[in-house]
Amino acid sequence: MGKIIFVEHDGTVHEARLIEGQSLMQVATAHWVPGIGGDCSGACACGTCHVIVDDQWLPALGPQGDEEARMLSMSPERQPASRLACQIKLSAAMDGMTVRLPEFQM
C-alpha cells in the first residue's frame, strides 16, 4: 500500500494510506488529519482543504481547474504550489507524496 505524508504548519507529520481513486481530502479526513476541514464535502466551494504540494509532485497532479484557482485566490496563505485537496484524485504514481498544511484554512 502506498502512503501520503501530511505536514502540519508546526512540523507535525501524519502518514495516511493512499487509496487510489479517492481525493486527497477524503484520505485526509478518513485519517483524521488536523487542518483539513472539507466543509463542502469536496465540491470545491469552501477552500478548507488547502494544501501546499511539494514541488516535485506538481507535475503528477495536472493543472488547476478554474473553480479551484478561484477558491485559492481568496486564501491569504496561497503559494505557487497551493492546491485544494478535494481536487486531487489519488493514483499509485503519488505514493510518497508530501503535502504541507497552511496555518489557517479559509
CATH number of 3-100: 3.10.20.30
Q: Where are the domains of the chain?
A: 3-100
pLDDT in tens, 8-41: 999 999 999 999 999 999 999 999 999 998 889 8
The pLDDT of residue 62 is 87
3 state SS of 36: coil
In this prediction, residue 20 carries a pLDDT of: 96
CB 77 within 8 A of CB 20: no
The length of the chain is 106
Residues 6+ apart with CB under 8 A from 13: 5, 6, 7
Alpha helix locations (H) across 36-85?
A: 58-61, 66-73
Residue in 96, 11, 22 with CA at minimum distance from that of residue 54: 96
* Residues contacting residue 27 through CB under 8 Å, at least 6 positions apart: 4, 16, 17, 18, 19, 90
pTM here is 0.93
Q: What is the pLDDT of residue 26?
A: 96
